[in-house]
């Protein structure tokens, strides 16, 4: 969450300030945690943490296919190369508010609580609005927000949504589009879904993209059209009860912070939510220290240093390895996340059916019930 800095004005009584500081911190922390639980940001964006001046993000190109060389044939050699990369420099965002001496001395808890709530509301609203602005301006190379300009190109130097994303290996002949035209309909959904499933890597191999999420603004006509297309077992275009194969394939995210139109036209965005799952699997392997049929042991410092959305998916994957793939509430995951991130003394969070998470000695133990 954001850093909380408390500064004391001259003439303020130390004992009064000290007594009020912790309750205010608790109010703000609780408000931020509540926002995180309902925010759509972690469902759409991959978020990372850093203590560095800048971070370089890059991919590696794929290898070619195996070749039939016959018995005792020479082994063909192929090589990786670094794909497109982008350097991102973190920026600092600030906002403050004041609690007067009179409010503390008169014990105006209600006023202090309301000030803390307004502060966390502003924190959450700023993050949601900025994230929505990034997504809705994805067809542009730059974005202006609150009088400041941001470069929002991809690693290939093109806008996120673009008709000709080049390949690092063969940027002349292999260019791909993730920007399409057409009002939402079942036919348009079919076409865009097929196009995404045909996305290729730098060497022309299928990427196995599986779009499963539709992101739309809070538009009544668009919500009606989308839910009719993906929520009915019967094809909405058919009069003879034909089966609708799109039924049950999609998660629909309605994000109220998105503009209702772009350039005066309605729009929708398709996404493969499995990307974060793949990132979680890679991070799980990175932080894994021990594994058995009844326990997964992870490095605590590594987990604490990544974003909570990714950390939570690692916890869910660890439980799934041990046989608990459902009945895990967001509240239990949030409780486990807190003892990992805050590096508290040995703590245990209980999960359904005897499963538990224990943090101790620099390690996180995800445990199955004792046999």
Lowest-confidence segment of 3-17, 86-100, 167-181 by average pLDDT = 3-17
On average, the pLDDT of the chain sits at 83
Q: If you average pLDDT over residues 285-291, what whole number do you get?
A: 88
Q: If you average pLDDT over residues 14-27, what whole number do you get?
A: 61
Confidence (pLDDT) at 6? 57
- Check if the beta carbon of residue 240 is closer than 8 Å to that of residue 214: no
Residue 192 in this model has a pLDDT that exceeds 60: yes
Q: How far apart are CA 356 and CA 339, in angstroms?
A: 12
Confidence (pLDDT) at 27? 73
pLDDT, tens only, 238-282: 666 677 778 778 999 999 999 999 999 999 999 998 866 777 777
Q: How far apart are CA 66 and CA 88, in angstroms?
A: 36
Question: What residues does each domain of the chain span?
Answer: 1-59+98-136, 180-272, 276-367
Confidence (pLDDT) at 10? 46
- pLDDT category of residue 97 using cuts at 50, 70 and 90: confident
Q: If you average pLDDT over residues 180-208, what whole number do you get?
A: 91
Residue 179 in this model has a pLDDT that exceeds 90: yes
Q: If you average pLDDT over residues 169-193, what whole number do you get?
A: 89
Lowest-confidence segment of 2-6, 66-70, 303-307, 354-358 by average pLDDT = 2-6
Residue 43 in this model has a pLDDT that exceeds 60: yes
Confidence (pLDDT) at 343? 60
pLDDT, tens only, 101-134: 676 666 666 777 788 888 888 988 999 999 999 9
Give the closest residue to 39 by CA, choosing from 312, 370, 303.
312
Confidence (pLDDT) at 31? 74
Q: How far apart are CA 270 and CA 198, in angstroms?
A: 14
User: DSSP assignment, residue 345?
Assistant: S
Residue 19 in this model has a pLDDT that exceeds 70: no
Residue 84 in this model has a pLDDT that exceeds 70: yes
Q: The CATH number of 276-367 is which of 3.30.70.890, 3.40.605.10, 3.30.70.260, 3.30.465.60? A: 3.30.465.60
Residue 203 in this model has a pLDDT that exceeds 50: yes
Report helix angle 14-38 to 330-341, nearest 10.
130
């Amino acid at each position: 969450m954001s850093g909380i800095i408390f500064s004391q004005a001259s003439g303020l009584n130390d004992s009064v300030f000290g007594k009020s500081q912790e309750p205010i911190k608790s109010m703000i922390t609780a408000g931020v945690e509540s926002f995180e639980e309902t925010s759509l940001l972690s469902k759409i964006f991959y978020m990372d943490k850093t203590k560095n001046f800048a971070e370089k993000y890059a991919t590696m190109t794929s290898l070619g296919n195996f070749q039939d060389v016959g018995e005792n044939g020479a082994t063909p050699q192929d090589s990786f190369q670094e794909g497109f990369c982008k350097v991102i420099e973190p920026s600092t965002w600030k906002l403050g508010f004041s609690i007067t001496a009179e409010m503390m001395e008169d014990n105006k808890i209600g006023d202090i609580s309301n000030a803390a709530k307004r502060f966390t509301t502003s924190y959450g609203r700023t993050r949601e609005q900025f994230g929505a602005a990034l997504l809705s301006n994805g067809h542009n190379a730059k974005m202006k927000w609150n009088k400041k300009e941001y470069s929002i190109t991809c690693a290939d130097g093109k806008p996120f949504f673009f008709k000709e994303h080049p390949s690092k290996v063969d940027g002349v002949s292999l260019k791909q589009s993730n920007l399409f035209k057409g009002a939402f309909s079942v036919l348009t959904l079919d076409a865009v879904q097929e196009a995404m499933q045909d996305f290729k890597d730098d060497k022309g191999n299928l990427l196995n993209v599986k779009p499963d999420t539709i992101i739309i603004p809070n538009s009544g006509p668009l919500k009606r059209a989308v839910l009719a297309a993906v929520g009915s077992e019967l094809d909405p275009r058919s009069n003879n009860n034909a089966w609708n194969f799109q039924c049950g394939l999609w998660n629909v995210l309605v994000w109220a912070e998105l503009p209702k139109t772009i350039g005066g036209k309605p729009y929708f965005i398709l996404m493969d939510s499995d990307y974060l799952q793949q990132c979680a699997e890679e991070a799980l392997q990175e932080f894994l220290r021990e594994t058995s049929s009844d326990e997964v042991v992870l490095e605590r410092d590594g987990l604490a240093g990544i974003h909570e959305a990714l950390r939570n998916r690692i916890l869910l994957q660890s439980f799934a390895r041990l046989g608990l793939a459902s009945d895990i509430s967001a509240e239990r995951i949030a409780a486990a996340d807190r003892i990992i991130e805050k590096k508290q003394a040995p703590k245990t969070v209980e999960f359904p059916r005897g499963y538990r998470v224990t943090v101790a000695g620099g390690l996180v133990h995800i445990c199955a019930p004792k046999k």
